[in-house]
Amino acid sequence: MKRLLVSIVCTIAVSQACASAREKNLPDTAVVDEIFAPFNGDRPGCSVGVFRNGETALLRNYGLADLATKAPLTADTVFYMASVSKQFTSLAAAKLIEDSKLGLDDDIRKWLPELPRYATPVTVRRLMNHTSGAREVLGLFSLAGTQSYETLMPPEVLRMMVRQKSLNFTPGAQYTYSNGGYFLLAQVVERAAGERFDEFARKRILEPLGMKSSYFRYGANPGGANLAHGYVRDGAGYAVRDTYPGFSGSGGLMSSVNDMAKYDHDFHVGHKIWTEKTRQIMLTPGVLNDGKLIDAGNGLSYASGLRVGTLRGQPIVEHSGGHAAFTSNYMTFPKLKASVVSICNIADNPGGYNLRVVEALYPKAFSGPKPKPEERVKPADTRQPIPADTLTALGVGTALYRSEEIDADYRFMRDGDSLAVDVFSDFVSGGRPEGFSGILLDSPDVLRGEFGKLRLERGADNAITGFVLETGRLEGGVKFTRVAP
């Protein structure tokens, strides 16, 4: 009888252990495999981690880290994380705020006095929630002729931001996503901490969490056996595109799925970095000057390097990243204590895949209709050839136009029936930068090409004295003045 009782107890214990294992390993591998099926095979792909209660529930890898050597992606493969980095930059600021070494409402000129004195001060809080009005630094360098950002170092990036004598808008008036703002936030952290940003982030965030493969970029291109190469589609195949900025703040984090598992554990369970004070700083939605919450799309707001809110009845915290060939997304549902991270070495939409994974694993947890994908209708091209008198007035082939804001000169050149621009600056690596062609007349005294819209300015004698170049995230445009002949 005693042996029978022991046997029954053991059977119950084993059954409970199996039930616990099934609960812990909730994700159905086949479901996740089906969602990420487009990335299978000898092609670039994605590494995926599914986490529950701060623990790893599933790791899956689809595709190759290196097409030349056929090295597969693994959970330890290191990728460029792009804008998923922003939450780590805000975390670094939050640690200094906890230490009383930095204030959310500090005027950033307290730390970066070389910046212009704007009519309305820019605060740390405004940088963290993209309401600062800081200009888009990658766009500025692109207009200056930069084709590869991997050689850019923090000192020259800061000089570019110092050249901007005005903001896109009054701080707090609106929300506009800005990589320039997050670069400045990293510089504020560096000055307040008294050490380089990448070093401070390593000591205060990455090392305490045990993220041993992770680091913020500073200068030289990363290497190592576990590094994922980035790829872009090139006809029927793929071309290597390992081009990502050499500076950090807006991006710069190199990480892996296994390291992101440690980050997720701290968010839900460990709270070594994600303390109560830090959570309050990081997860409080930003507000505009009129008291309205920031609208960051899909009904979500923006906090500190994170989109926050409720999606289909579930609280959500998430952020995506993308630069050239690398795309990433970290998404967590605090009420479900469920998270998914996808990191890809091909341009795609990992956030969409992550959401599908969570919806499939928790079908009863979500209410209401699924958000409809945004339909982007490409407007008809109604541009016309540029009139001869305008071509003459522009001084095509001879006249130079200078922008002090980007430290570059432009010269218009004939390009078939349209115009192209030759760019002269220290950032041009050779030849005409991609996209600076196909310029036609959009409306009277307004020209438009791939890189933006040019509003011509005329003097008293009707001569063209310059123009304002308008493009995305550079509201108000970049001013060019005719300097010769």
The reported pLDDT for the residue numbered 434 is 87
Q: DSSP character for 377?
A: P
How many Cα neighbours within 13 Å face the side chain of 285? 21
pLDDT band at 19 (very low <50, low <70, confident <90, very high): very low
Quick one: tokens of 55?
A: 């623990």
CA distance 277 to 119: 32
Maximum C-alpha span of the chain: 111
Q: 94-103, 149-158, 261-270, 365-374 — which is least confidently predicted? A: 365-374
Count of CA atoms in the C-beta half-sphere (13 A) of 241: 21
Tokens describing residue 256: 């892996």
Q: What is the mean pLDDT of residues 272-279?
A: 98
Q: Read off the DSSP letter of residue 136.
A: -
pLDDT of 21 reads 38
Give the start-to-end residue ranges of the domains of the chain: 64-68+74-133+168-361, 388-484
Q: Dump pLDDT digits (tens) for 421-455.
A: 999 999 887 788 889 999 999 999 999 999 999 99
Name the CATH architecture for the domain at 64-68+74-133+168-361: 3-Layer(aba) Sandwich (3.40)
Torsion region of 100: left, alpha or beta (phi above 0 gives left; psi -120 to 50 gives alpha): left
What per-residue confidence (pLDDT) applies to 368? 79
φ, ψ (nearest 5 deg) of residue 454: -110, 120
Q: Identify residue 415 by its one-letter amino acid code.
A: D
Q: What dotted CATH number matches 388-484? A: 2.40.128.50
In this predicted structure, what is the pLDDT of residue 41?
Answer: 93
**pLDDT value for 190:** 98
By mean pLDDT, which of 11-20, 244-253, 360-369, 436-445 is the weakest? 11-20
Q: Which residues contact 42 (CB under 8 A, 6 or more apart)?
A: 63, 64, 67, 70
- Please give the helix or strand (H or E) that residue 91 lies within, else none: helix 86-98
For residues 386 and 469, the answer to whether their CB atoms sit within 8 Å is no
pLDDT in tens, 289-330: 999 999 999 999 999 999 999 999 999 999 999 998 999 999
- Non-local (6+) Cβ contacts of 452 within 8 A are 143, 469, 470, 471
